[in-house]
Structure 1
Amino acid sequence: MNGALRDGLEGWGMQGTWSAFAVRGFRVVWLAGLLSVAGDQLARVALAILVFERTGSAGLSAATYALSMLPALVSGALLSWLADRFPRRRVLVACDVVRALLVAVMAVPAVPLPLMAALLVLVQLAEAPFSAAQGAVLPELLGGRYEAGQAVQQVTTQLCLVLGFAAAAFVVTGVGAHAALAIDAATFAVSAVLLRTGLGVHPPPSDGVADGVVGGATWWRRSWHQVAAGAVAVRRDRRLTTLVWLGWLALFTVVPEGLAVPFARQVGADGGWVGVLLAAEPAGAVAGALLLRRIARPARVRALGVLAVGTSAPLMAYWAQPGLGAALALLFVSGMCSAYQVTAGATFVQLSPPQVRGRTLGFARTGMVAGQGLGIVLGGLLAQLAGPATAIAAAGTAGALVALAAAAAWARRRPDAVSAALPAEA
């Protein structure tokens, strides 16, 4: 990592965070992930524009967005166990190669929309085992630097989202939707090469045989057995259960994202402000992550419940039907508090048994995706009846109440003892 970037991170309160870059494997995984995030931003905008241009239907354009989430409900449950069954580098590279090939086909102008939708589903199916393998390998690479690495990923990913929302539409308009999809395919290909040449094999911690599953079991039975193994591991440890609960609160705070377009129309803002509304929460998350890195880990762990409440509470102000400026401020504050997810996620991974870490991650992420999809659907239905601001306010109120219960549960988990049980920070 160069000195200027390191000094910049330290100057913004990220003391010690740059140490994660001392690990070569982390640099490879970080850069590969960043390439994929940047490419995916282009692809999402490209597909939305492409579908709207071909059909003129806002409903079909929204359905395309839903297709980027729904397959994860299946793959997160049925495919995440691959990260604990095969060498993790092999899983990462295979998923990237599959996605590169599928998106390359999507980039061909002659591909009809139904086939493109089917290919998009397959692309998203490959995301879950990739994320599970990535999440499982990082603790092995970083050890005591793990949360520092998580903070780096959070900040840079959120910055990619902020810049992506602002720039993707201009890029797609400039080069065309199909060219943007080709760029996304290239990012997956480059990521695969980086991981294959720069990352160690990282065999799974078990003997490679699915626990308790006989060799003659069908793939379907084996998959569900692995799903159950992840769920059981979480249920057996109340600390993991509560951390999952804290993570799944995102189902409430994702509602403003799903209602950005109708809310912008409600307050009389033009289409250009939609990207700003979408970028406000990720921008706040970046600021929150930078601030949290100034605080010692025991205090961060203790604060998880309070910050979870703080993520939803600002949305309650939407009951007052705020204007555009106030809404941006509320979303920014909500995003700042949402940075607790970095510490919650890092704590969850470090407490998960290594032999089932991929499966516990798959279980947690599947639930989060399911919750976010449910939140967007219910928020949209309520917005149809009462308006987008009221729907966001209702989601914030419900989220704050559930977060209060989660915060009380976390206090009973003895956060100081949890923090003491984690590997020492480097």
Structure 2
Amino acid sequence: MPASTTPLLVPPFRGFFLGRAVSLAGSSMTPVALALSVLGISGEAGDLGIVLAAQVIPQLVLTLVGGASADRFSRRGVLVVAGLGAGLTQGAVAAVLLTGHYSLPLVSGLVAAGGVLEAFASPALRGIVPELVGARDLQRANAVLSAAGNAARVLGPAAAGLMVAGAGGGWAIALDALSFVAAAGFFARLPRGTRVPASEARPLSGIRAGWEEFRSTPWIWSMTLSFGVINLVNVGPWQILGAMLTKGHDGEAAWGLVLSARALGTLVMSVVMYRLALRRPLRSGALAGALAALPLLALGCAAGTPALMTCAFVGALGFSLAGIAWDTALQQHVPGDVLLRVCSYDDLLSYAAIPAGQLLVGPAAAHLGGERVALLCGVIYVAAGLGPLAVRSVRDLSARTA
């Protein structure tokens, strides 16, 4: 399908893109800097687990409230407040680390506050895009945003590692704090008006309205259930078994090479999707997304590093295409006044399975063997990825061009 040729990086989308690019550049350094700082100070892996959980749990718990709030209030306002708040919490974490006053409860509390803000910011970031570009340009806009995020994920961790080694993790997190504030400045210049009318409903009523829209739309709930199963069998097994099996076969450096190949694949597809328009986004996304099971299947077959890198690259191409197609379909076809509440249910039901997969993969590998578990997870991934194609509305959903 011919891609739109309308200039994209013009106001107001240009300001939003610059804000996201700045924020992503800073945030890409924080996971590495925080992990190395906590481990370097406390020496306890359990402390790091607590800190990471403190960020994720508030996001899951408050996802529905965040979606309802972003549908009820100005999305620009939500992003500005959340950005300034995140700058404050990240700045406080940086100050704690730089002044040598590390305390597990204090750092966990500050990280949890950041997780609360993320629960409100995430839906608004997805929902504001349709206000800034036309329906025909949504896929290109999502591709550009995805490319910025993937580029940050390629460069950010390496930059963070160098900064931690040279100056300490606190400075990397301080840069992240500044990036949030700078992003809030860009977001504050977005148009005041929003096409989503302010709702007078109470938050619980808004959440129920989002649920009604979610459950009554087969293509939405079937895809979300698919993502939930995929996250269960992919995130934990890939993070844990990938590192364990690759290190066991070819050493520690091999895992880094595999991750680099995967990051490169997501970046390449983000660029391709800027020019490639999909007539049937969900059908194409499901078919391409099934390719993302290749790395798990390769692990299960004890593939060497070159083969695993190839599978990781190809799988990332499919994974990136599926993600961009899904975001675009939601933005084009879900009514604007309930979009973010529907996205919140999508996030909650998709991501809630991740901790379960992370907890189950270790015992399963001990009982069955790591390679068998990886192979089984890969097979389930393919079945879950292709399963929604049995739903007619998934197969037939068309891209909206006006």
Q: Check whether TM > 0.5.
A: yes
Closer/same/farther in 2, CA of residues 299 and 355 from structure 1, 3 Å limit: closer
Distance (whole Å) between structure 1 residues aligned to residue 368 and residue 244 of structure 2: 12
Structure 1 gaps, min length 5: 1-13, 214-221
Q: Equivalent of 2:247, from 265, 288, 301?
A: 265
Q: Conserved in 2, the CA contact under 8 Å of 1:318 and 1:392?
A: yes
SS for the counterpart of 1:321 is coil
Q: Equivalent of 1:347, from 308, 329, 339?
A: 329
Residue identity opposite 1:375 in structure 2? G
Residue identity opposite 1:88 in structure 2? R
Distance (whole Å) between structure 2 residues aligned to residue 322 and residue 398 of structure 1: 19
Map of 1:229 onto structure 2? 209
Mapping of residues 270-285 of structure 1, within 5 Å: 270=252, 272-285=253-266
Report how far residue 336 of structure 1 moved.
0.9
SS for the counterpart of 1:298 is coil
Q: What's the Cα RMSD here?
A: 2.5
Distance (whole Å) between structure 1 residues aligned to residue 155 and residue 298 of structure 2: 27
Residue identity opposite 1:195 in structure 2? F
Map of 1:393 onto structure 2? 375
User: Scaled by the length of structure 1, what TM-score is found?
Assistant: 0.84
Q: Equivalent of 2:131, from 140, 154, 157?
A: 140
Distance (whole Å) between structure 2 residues aligned to residue 262 and residue 118 of structure 1: 31
Closer/same/farther in 2, CA of residues 266 and 67 from structure 1, 3 Å limit: farther
SS for the counterpart of 1:19 is coil
SS for the counterpart of 2:224 is helix
Residue 151, structure 1, aligned to residue 143, structure 2:
yes
SS for the counterpart of 1:202 is coil
How many pairs does the alignment contain?
394
1:150-189 deviations in whole A, cap 9, x for unaligned? 0111122112112223332122222211111111111111
Report how far residue 402 of structure 1 moved.
1.8
Report how far residue 205 of structure 1 moved.
2.0
Mapping of residues 123-138 of structure 1, within 5 Å: 123-138=114-129
1:363-422 deviations in whole A, cap 9, x for unaligned? 21222322333333333443444454443323212111222322222xx11644x215x2
Mapping of residues 26-105 of structure 1, within 5 Å: 26-105=13-92
Structure 2 gaps, min length 5: none
Q: Conserved in 2, the CA contact under 8 Å of 1:100 and 1:186?
A: yes
Map of 1:25 onto structure 2? 12
Map of 2:166 onto structure 1? 174
User: Scaled by the length of structure 2, what TM-score is found?
Assistant: 0.89
SS for the counterpart of 2:24 is helix
SS for the counterpart of 1:199 is coil
Distance (whole Å) between structure 2 residues aligned to residue 106 and residue 414 of structure 1: 44
Closer/same/farther in 2, CA of residues 231 and 275 from structure 1, 3 Å limit: farther
Residue identity opposite 2:398 in structure 1? S
SS for the counterpart of 2:251 is coil
Mapping of residues 286-297 of structure 1, within 5 Å: 286-297=267-278
Map of 2:398 onto structure 1? 419
